[in-house]
Amino acid sequence: MEYFGDRTWSTLSTSLLTLLVLWVAYIFVGMVEKFLITPMRLKRIMNRQGVQGPSAPLFVGNMPEVIRLQKASEEKDMKTGDYDIVARILPYHIQNCQAYVGDYMTNVTSDIIAKTAFGSSYKKGKKVLEQLFALVNLTNQRNKQRFATIPGYSIIPMPLNIKIILTKLAVSKSLGEIIQSRKDMVKGDNNAYGNDLLGFMLNAAMEEIAIEGGKVHFGMQSLIDNCKTFFLAGQETTSTLLTWTMMLLASHTTWQERAREEVIEVCGHKDHPIDANMFRKFKTLDMILNETLRLFSIVPVQNRQTLMDVHLGELHIPKGLALYFPRLAIHHDPTLWGEDVHEFKPERFVDGIAKATKHPLALMPFSFGPRFCVGQGFALDEAKSILVVILQ
């Protein structure tokens, strides 16, 4: 007690208090910069160039309005056979198809992605997928909450937030175990990680990757994050595409017959072994898939943020501006596709994309440019394999 006299205590608590105040001030300034000053500055730059937008409340921006619209739109029923879904889907993410076929497709695509990504560790991979689904479900629940858009809300220790954090930890733990056991298995032999996606990533992780301004190492956290991305991006998307394709073929039986004829011509009857080279010969099935991807764009909106100032035509787009590409709306634009835009008409693709629409980029289900969807080929081949088996 000699050491820590009253004066020491009070000095100590004063410094602690000062630290605390400084910390709070630091966080506050950061928030003001991020959620107030930056959005105002970006808005001013765009306004000056004649690009106006809806007024947004301070701090939270337009998100509460987007969520409100989403909710209102979700409450309305849609007529079957009416594919004018822009108004319904665009304010928010893809609607879940809850039909039985949806469950079935979820199971099939889960199996496939778990096998592709984790091969021998397939069973454990499926467990991770279940945890990831739970995480998505919890996050969706939170996004529907009233105060979800308030910055910092997600770190307040509320029951749902705690659940989300625990589920995230569980996902990382499971993935970490799979990765570690694979590493232990092949200790000392860098090229023997297996020929599944995880194996490729582990091989890559052993090399340093040269990037601008230095080298990076693909650490454990990057591995875990990439596994999550491939799992989620590679599963739900394809199962949704398949669900819509099945639904459209079920209600347009002429196209179903034409697809079946083609499949049998190219791949033979039931139980005939199929290989991916056959898929290059499909024409009708390609038209059907393109028309499905157009009508029910799996990813209806794409968000991007500029990393540097760019000039687009007359427009100066400042660094840091959030851009929003309403892909689904472009796919449903009658000025690009004609008045029958909301109808299921695979025949519009009979002479390829160029003849189907007035703009070469009017169809971009997988985006375009150097950052187009890395899984495009995989997703389409997967969808075709499943459709072939079902149609046979």
Residue with tokens 């989403």: 70
Contact track, ligand NAG, 120-149, x by CB under 6 A: -----------------x------------
H/E element holding 283?
A: none
Q: Under the phi-then-psi rule, with left for phi > 0, alpha for psi from -120 to 50, and beta for the rest, what region is 61?
A: left
Residue 191 CB, nearest distance to ligand NAG (Å)? Answer: 34
Q: What b/e sequence results for 253-290 when a residue is b if at least 16 CB atoms lie within 10 Å of its CB, and e otherwise?
A: eebbebbbebbeebbeeeeeebeeebbeebebbbbbbb
Residue 20 CB, nearest distance to ligand NAG (Å)? Answer: 38
CB-CB neighbours of 233 under 10 Å? 16
Three-class SS of residue 306?
coil
Contact residue for ligand NAG among 33, 74, 103, 261 (CB under 6 A): 103
Residue 359 CB, nearest distance to ligand NAG (Å)? Answer: 13
Instruction: Please give the residues from 360 up to 379 whose contact with ligand NAG meets the rule CB under 6 A.
Output: 363
Q: Identify which range of 51-59, 99-107, 114-122, 185-193 contacts ligand NAG by CB under 6 A.
A: 99-107
Contact track, ligand NAG, 344-363, x by CB under 6 A: -----x--xx---------x
Strands 214-217 and 302-305: unpaired
Number of residues that bind ligand NAG (CB under 6 A): 11
Applying CB under 6 A, does 290 fall inside the site for ligand NAG?
A: yes
Residue 141 CB, nearest distance to ligand NAG (Å)? Answer: 6
Contact track, ligand NAG, 105-124, x by CB under 6 A: --x-----------------
Closest by CA to 366, choosing from 331, 321, 333, is: 331
Nearer to ligand NAG, 13 or 137 (CB): 137
CA atoms within 13 A of residue 291's CA, in its CB half-sphere: 27
Contact present, 325 and 302 (Cβ < 8 Å): yes
Nearer to ligand NAG, 286 or 382 (CB): 286
Applying CB under 6 A, does 104 fall inside the site for ligand NAG?
A: yes
Applying CB under 6 A, does 14 fall inside the site for ligand NAG?
A: no
Applying CB under 6 A, does 285 fall inside the site for ligand NAG?
A: no
H/E element holding 227?
A: helix 220-251
Residue 294 CB, nearest distance to ligand NAG (Å)? Answer: 9
The residue nearest ligand NAG at its CB is: 349
Residue 367 CB, nearest distance to ligand NAG (Å)? Answer: 10
Contact present, 132 and 124 (Cβ < 8 Å): no
Query: Can you read off the two tokens belonging to residue 354?
Result: 């160029």
Nearer to ligand NAG, 89 or 138 (CB): 138
Distance CA 134, CA 159 (A): 15
Applying CB under 6 A, does 381 fall inside the site for ligand NAG?
A: no
Does the CA dihedral 241-170-31-305 come out positive or negative?
A: negative
CA dist 10 → 22, 180, 341 (Å) = 18, 49, 74
Nearer to ligand NAG, 11 or 141 (CB): 141
Instruction: Please give the residues from 18 up to 47 whose contact with ligand NAG meets the rule CB under 6 A.
Output: none
CB-CB neighbours of 227 under 10 Å? 25
Contact present, 292 and 245 (Cβ < 8 Å): yes
Applying CB under 6 A, does 286 fall inside the site for ligand NAG?
A: yes
Residue 290 CB, nearest distance to ligand NAG (Å)? Answer: 4
Point out which residues bind ligand NAG (CB under 6 A). Answer: 103-104, 107, 137, 286-287, 290, 349, 352-353, 363
